[in-house]
Amino acid sequence: MTTQEILESLKLEKGQPAMTAGQLQRRIKAYTESLWPWAERERDPAGYADWKDGMLPTLAAAEEAFAFNYKLAAYKTATARLTQHVLADGRAEIWEDQPTGGLDPETGEAITESVMVSAAIEPLEAEVEQEIRDPETGEVTGTEMVPNPLIETDTAERSAAQAVVDGTPADVVAYAD
């Protein structure tokens, strides 16, 4: 069996859904034990050692595919996060021209109409009011304005997603596109 055939049978080729390191190890272990059960290894240790040495390129390819798929999944998640609107900015209505099913009698072209496919989303307030509590009694003693935690979370998530996108190798980006 070729390295590529082994990787295909184990679902370890590039572009497969990402898996955990434990899943990778279990798949490799199951494959190894299906070909060289413990009893067979004990009867022919030299043959097993030769086979195992021959498997090193396949294992290296499996680990490479594992790392690639992990980066690919992280890249797709990050780019999806970056396509979401910025909470501090909101979003305008989104309109599309969609065919009505009719034809213009003069030109014969399809008739379209503008349809709102997504309503506008108002931007969040930059600051929100927060209660000030007495640490000893727990009583509310006043209020203060603080940065909106939803905007701060959105900004942090976007920064983390952008860092993933910026750190993704070119071959993973090319595969994803």
What is the residue-wise DSSP string for 120-141? -BPPPPSEEEEEEE-TTT--EE
**Average pLDDT per run of 10 along the chain, which is 177 residues long?**
73 83 85 80 84 79 89 96 93 91 87 91 92 90 92 96 96 91
The whole-number pLDDT of residue 21 equals 86
Across 109-122, b (16+ Cβ under 10 Å) vs e yields eeeeeeeeeeeeee
Q: Where are the alpha helices (DSSP H) in 44-105?
A: 45-83
What pLDDT does 16 receive? Answer: 85
Rounded CA gap, 53 and 26, in Å? 19
Residue 1 confidence (pLDDT): 64
Q: Which amino acid is at 143?
A: T
| Integer CA distances (angstroms), 124 to 6, 97, 118, in order | 52, 29, 18
List the chain domain ranges: 3-86, 89-122
Separation between Cα atoms, residue 90 and residue 75, nearest integer Å: 24
CA angle 44, 47, 51 (to 5 degrees): 135
Long-range contacts of 151-158 (CB under 8 A, 24+ apart): 151/87, 151/88, 151/124, 151/126, 154/86, 154/87, 154/88, 155/88, 157/81, 158/81, 158/82, 158/86
Contacts for 121 with CB less than 8 Å, ≥ 6 apart: 85, 90, 91
pTM for the whole structure: 0.71
What pLDDT is stored for residue 71 in this prediction? 94
